[in-house]
Structure 1
Amino acid sequence: MATATETDAMRRAVALSARALGATAPNPVVGCVILDASGAVAGEGWHQRAGGPHAEVNALFAAGQRARGGTALVTLEPCNHTGRTGPCARALIEAGIARVVYAVDDPGPVASGGAGTLRAAGVDVESGLLAQEAAAVNAAWLTFARLGRPYVRWKYAATLDGRIAAADGSSRWISSPESRADVHRLRAEADAVVVGSGTLLADDPHLAVRGIDGVTQPLRVVVDSRARITGAARVLDDAAPTLIAVAEDADTSHLPGVGIARLPCDKNGTGLDVPALLAELAGRGVRSVLLEGGPTLAGAFVEAGAVDTVTAYLAPALLGAGPAVLADAGITTIAQVLRLDVTDVARLGPDLRVTAVPTAPQES
């Protein structure tokens, strides 16, 4: 049974893991705290980037000889394989760690098994401490490990009557400066930001992170089946990498030097197949997607069962007409309604930020 000191240390490890959101793909975010034999904090660390030392190795380095006979608190089961770095289970054993407490089991076939290796070496192992908190931070990587596709957060800003723009198409600005700053935080935590051609043509968004130092810029993805984008679009600057997803037969001759992904169309032949798009992004190392597209693209993702979290910025305003938040999502009767569980509500300036997740797991 974990002690109060160990629980506090794990809570710190969870906070450390969150520091690397958006920077470790295709790897998970992981935090680690080392307690010495007396229970005092000896070292801490987190996995900062793919290819770099894992959290346990950074924490062990910080702890030095004080790690011997101590306890490691880790947010994910220590890895058991050699990739670009060595197995963390072996590093913990060689450092003389006597006890390992981790939050979440590794669900993958490649790196799992670390707990068994530790136990076989005589290390006391306990799992499940603050598992829910650790899993929430690591939702992107766990979603990929379990479903084989990136985690998708759909973000939108709307009035209280559910409009994302006025009847004449104007939309700047529905949400407050505080909400818009928070969107940049979400972008910084994502591996890719996705919009559709409608949003691109209407708003010419830039999609790069601004106002946050030291971030890894997400991949900017435009879903543009007919390649209507022009070379003057702001997403084609050098502020962040960009990928244009087009239909297999689209003419892209006007886009020399631009990253292009050719994908099959959906069943209606009007848009791109969402599972194919997510598979393409997964193959590029993307583990988390921030969907900023308009109602048509959002509807396609909802219909595909590919929305894991909804983040809505609700402005205290009314428009009465104009495009709604969500277009056709394949829901034709109340029995098919996609119900959500609200997990957080926060005030950002005059706006409300509501975060919710589907009540049933998304299996696509």
Structure 2
Amino acid sequence: MRTALRLAEGGPATGVNPRVGCVILDAEGRTIAEGFHRGAGTAHAEVDALSSLPEGGATGATAVVTLEPCNHWGLTGPCSEALIAAGVARVVYAVADPGRHSSGGAERLREAGVAVTGGVLAEEAEAFLDDWLTAARLGRPYITVKWASTLDGRAAAADGTSKWITGAAARQRVHEQREASDAIVVGTGTVLADDPSLTARGDAGELLATQPTPVVVGTRAVPNDAAVFRHPNPVIFEGTHDLHQVVADLRQRGFRRVYVEGGPTLASAFVEAGLVDEYAIYLAPSLLGGPRFALGDIGVATIADQRRLRILDVERLGGDLYLRAVPVPPPATAQQGDTTHQEG
């Protein structure tokens, strides 16, 4: 299973499809084939592995796969049927498929007489697939909200200037996080005030290989000569303040990871709406004072309602600190959305 997880790393980290790896073992436990899913429209991991075997080569074999084999027709056929047709005798998987339309592969395999074992290295696989599983279970993209602030929580000086609160190392990490995202989201206020390019760039200012799609939220007009129009990817304008409508549209467009990098107004709106899966917080060792906080009103009126976070990582980047944190949900308020699995 750990080999299958390593294979899965070769798949795309963005888009609606999960990264899945598969190892096929013969009756003596020897590896006879390996495969992984390379993206929408390509063979799923199980079929990729089976394709390297001659006809009948998988008869009596064991397939070890990181995600429960799918049981639906998308851009490709169901993996459960491919494994049955290949004569596989046993399937071992790590994590159950949460998709409403794609799950049921384990049940279908058992109906066909295939021995099935689930939950092997489930914790490691859950951590590896965390963003995709979150998106699949909630029916929306995995959303990271980022901000940079001083130690006293200010995102800008009293006159509005904010370049630069953090140093070069922290800013470069932000560009790497942009590159790892499907979309980067800002509000019209940020576009009008800062005219950002919203690109992912390297140390020398060069464009990185993968670029997030720029998304601008709000109803104010943006000048035709705004830098965002020079982005390698066409900008998406979401002419609304309804964030649930925005994230639903981004889901429909096939985005898995969304990076919110707007100003305090947009960040606060995402927090208040409960639409944050991860926080990327950059803290500079400085003080500004004044009114320009990194967050505004998030709907907390009393200390009992505070939004608690769990810090996953703390890293020193030059003279700055990077905190990676996730929300701690209140008891008995777990959200359940459309869990359609769109693996293609």
Task: Indicate conservation of the 8 Å contact 2:5/2:20, yes or no.
Answer: no
The structural deviation recorded for 1:106 is 1.3
Hey, what's the Cα distance between the residues in 2 that align with 1:209 and 1:38?
48
Distance 1:238 1:206, change over 3 A: closer
- Tell me the equivalent position of 1:35: 25
The 8 Å contact of residues 5 and 21 in structure 2, kept in 1 or not, is answered as no
Q: Secondary structure at the match of 2:42?
A: coil
Letter paired with 2:73? T
Residue 287 of structure 1: aligned partner: 256
- Specify the alignment match of 2:306 in structure 1: 337
Q: Find 2:218's aligned residue among 216, 220, 224.
A: 224
Aligned-residue offset at 1:214: 4.5
**Once the two structures are superposed, what CA deviation does each residue of 1:70-97 show, in whole Å capped at 9, x if it has no partner?**
3322222111112211111122233333
Indicate how the Cα distance of structure 1 residues 338 and 122 shifts in structure 2: closer, same or farther if over 3 A, else same. Answer: same
Within-5 A mapping of 1:32-111: 32-62=22-52, 67-111=58-102
Instruction: Report the 3-state secondary structure (helix = DSSP H, G, I; strand = E; otherwise coil) of the residue aligned with 1:92.
Output: helix
Taking the aligned partners of 1:99 and 1:134, their CA distance within structure 2 comes to 19
Can you give the 5+ residue segments of structure 2 that lack an aligned partner in the other structure? 338-344
Other structure's SS at 1:141 match: helix
CA deviation profile, 1:325-348 (whole Å, cap 9, x unmatched): 111111121111000111222233
Match for 1:34: what amino acid? I
Identity across the alignment (%): 52
> Is the counterpart of residue 277 in structure 1 residue 246 in structure 2?
yes
2:158 is aligned with 1:167: yes
Q: What's 1:20 paired with?
A: 12
TM-superposed CA distance for 1:230, in Å, is: 0.7
For residues 352 and 120 of structure 1, do their structure 2 counterparts lie closer, same or farther at Cα, with a shift above 3 Å needed?
Answer: same
Computed over aligned residues only, the root mean square deviation of the Cα atoms, in angstroms, reads: 2.4
> Given the superposition, is the C-alpha separation of residues 336 and 292 from structure 1 closer, same or farther in structure 2, using an over 3 Å criterion?
same
Asked if 1:328 corresponds to 2:322, the answer is no
Contact 1:17–1:47 under 8 Å retained in 2: no
CA distance in 1, matches of 2:226, 2:185: 15
Match of 2:132 among 141, 159, 168: 141
Partner SS for 1:306: coil
SS in 1 for 2:191: helix
Q: 1:143 to 1:118 in 2, by over 3 A?
A: same
Show structure 1 runs of 5+ residues with no match: 1-5, 247-262, 264-271
Equivalence for 1:204: 195
Q: How far is 1:195 from its partner? A: 0.6
Could you list the per-position Cα deviations for residues 130-179 of structure 1 after superposition, in whole angstroms to 9, with x for gaps in the alignment?
A: 32332333334333332222221111222222222222322222223332
Deviation at 1:307, TM superposition (A): 0.8
Does the Cα contact within 8 Å between 1:307 and 1:362 map onto a contact in 2? no
2:67, 2:95 within 8 Å by CA — same for their partners in 1?
A: yes
- Gap change, CA 1:176 and 1:128, over 3 Å in 2: farther
Q: Return the TM-score normalized by structure 2.
A: 0.86
Aligned pair 1:120/2:111, yes or no? yes
Name the structure 2 match of 1:255.
Answer: none
CA 1:170–1:102: 2 relative to 1, 3 Å: same
Q: How many residue pairs align between the two structures?
A: 328
Given residue 182 of structure 1, which amino acid in structure 2 is its aligned partner?
Answer: R
Residue type of the alignment partner of 1:81: H
C-alpha spacing 1:68/1:189, structure 2 compared with 1 (3 Å): farther
On the 8 A contact 1:52/1:85 being kept in 2, the answer is: yes
Q: CA shift at 1:49, angstroms?
A: 1.8
Q: TM-score, normalization: structure 1? A: 0.81
Q: Distance in 2 between matches of 1:242 and 1:281?
A: 12
Distance 1:314 1:133, change over 3 A: farther
Question: For residues 273 and 283 of structure 1, what CA distance do their matches in structure 2 show?
Answer: 16
From the superposition, tell whether residues 46 and 205 of structure 1 become closer, same or farther in structure 2 (CA, over 3 Å).
Answer: farther
Higher relative contact order (CA 8 A, sep 6+): 2
Divergent runs of 4+, >4 A? 62-68
2:11 touches 2:20 (CA, 8 Å); kept in 1?
no
Q: Which residue of 2 aligns with 1:259?
A: none
Q: Secondary structure of the residue that 1:72 maps to in structure 2?
A: strand
* 1:1-23 Cα deviation digits (max 9, x unpaired): xxxxx4x334424xx2474111x
Match of 2:285 among 298, 307, 316: 316
Deviation at 1:66, TM superposition (A): 6.2
Q: Which residue of 2 aligns with 1:260?
A: none
